[in-house]
């Protein structure tokens, strides 16, 4: 009877280790697929559309990179009372 218990304890430990390894493998495969399909497709669509989200055309001679923002239609005093 002790041999049967010993067998099932070992079987259970092996099954737990196997399930952890399968979980790690499936997570790796699924996350890689989501990354390459999701991020990769978005990247290709953006490249095809020619959209640029960041501007890297810096002027070396400029003293500042500050860009003036146009009027936004609100009075300055409204910013002091936000809540």
Residue-wise DSSP of 32-62:
HHHIIIIIHHHHHHHHHHT--SS-----TT-
Please give the tally of structural domains in the chain: 1
pLDDT computed for residue 73 by the predictor: 67
Query: What percent of the chain has pLDDT above 70?
Result: 86
70 pLDDT more than 90: no
pLDDT computed for residue 50 by the predictor: 87
Per the domain annotation, does 37 fall within a domain?
Answer: yes
Which residues neighbour 59 within 8 Å (Cβ) at sequence distance 6 or greater?
Answer: 65
Q: Specify the pTM.
A: 0.46
Domain that holds residue 43: 1-53
Band of the pLDDT at 28, cuts 50, 70, 90?
very high
Per the domain annotation, does 43 fall within a domain?
Answer: yes
CA–centroid distance for 62 within its chain: 35
What's the rounded Cα separation, in Å, for the pair 72 and 76?
10
Looking at residues 34-60, what average pLDDT do you find?
Answer: 85
Band of the pLDDT at 24, cuts 50, 70, 90?
very high
């Amino acid at each position: 009877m002790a041999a049967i218990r010993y067998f099932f304890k070992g079987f259970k430990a092996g099954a737990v280790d196997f399930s952890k390894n399968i979980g790690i493998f499936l997570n790796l495969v699924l996350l890689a697929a989501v990354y390459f399909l999701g991020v990769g497709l978005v990247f290709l669509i953006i490249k095809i559309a020619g959209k640029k989200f960041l501007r890297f055309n810096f002027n070396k001679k400029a003293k500042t990179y500050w860009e003036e923002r146009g009027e936004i239609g609100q009075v300055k005093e409204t910013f002091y009372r936000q809540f």
